Amino acid sequence: MKKLTILILFIFIGCGYRPSSHFVPQTIGERVYTEVDVSLSDPQNAVLIKDALQKALYSRIKTVVTTKDRADSTIKVSYKSIKFIPLQYDRNGYVVYYQAHISLKFEFIKGDKRDERVIVGRYEFPIRPSAIISTSLRFEAIQKGSMRALDEFLAYLETKGSISH
């Protein structure tokens, strides 16, 4: 078994295999400026999205968020819409499970290159029968759905980086 593991490692090293996350710093750069447009109908979401974006950039790809004048690239995020879709009902007809759809528009800018994507982050959560979605549940759904959309966007950038290099 040990010989098989060494053989597999030798093949990957010999072939020059690199995970796609290796190419993201080359695609994005070492320093990134993030900008989140504030929705007038829901301004508190901008703070949640900005925090989630900065956390995702640092934890996923170890990129430093910086000022606009020092940045290698810019990621702009704008909040497009949010929908709460009932997924499951109890026997009395009350909704007991929702799915939040958070639609975000991402714009990646590096030099004269621009790339735009609209991504929907989804998050499922239960509520008590005959209850309404509380503010805390709503914020949690927005934050987790935004994080999933950000993860998808970063995966897109990883793929783009591994293809172009």
- pLDDT score of 83: 92
pLDDT of residue 103: 92
Higher per-residue confidence, 32 vs 48: 32
pLDDT at res. 19? 55
**Distance, CA of 83 to CA of 101 (rounded, Å):** 5
**Which CATH number, 3.30.160.150, 1.10.3720.10, 3.60.60.10, 3.90.950.10, labels domain 20-164?**
3.30.160.150
**What is the tens place of the pLDDT at every residue in 123-137?**
999 988 767 777 788
Q: What is the mean pLDDT of residues 71-89?
A: 90
pLDDT at 59 over 60: yes
Question: Cα separation of 156 and 150, whole Å?
Answer: 10
Q: Please tell me the predicted confidence (pLDDT) of residue 159.
A: 79
**What average pLDDT does range 109-125 have in this prediction?**
92
* Residue 142 CB neighbours (<10 A): 22
The residue extents of the domains of the chain are: 20-164
Measured distance CA(87)–CA(71) in Å, rounded: 42
pLDDT digits (tens, 9 = 90+) for 140-154: 888 889 889 988 988
Position 24 scores a pLDDT of: 60
Residue range 27-55: mean pLDDT, rounded = 75
128 three-class SS: coil
Residue 107: band (very low, low, confident or very high) from pLDDT cuts 50, 70, 90: very high
CA distance 67 to 74: 10
pLDDT surpasses 60 at 16: no
Instruction: Answer whether residue 98 shows pLDDT above 90.
Output: yes
Q: Which of 68-77, 100-109, 153-162 has the lowest mean pLDDT?
A: 153-162
Mean pLDDT of 25-33: 77
**Segment 101-110 mean pLDDT:** 92
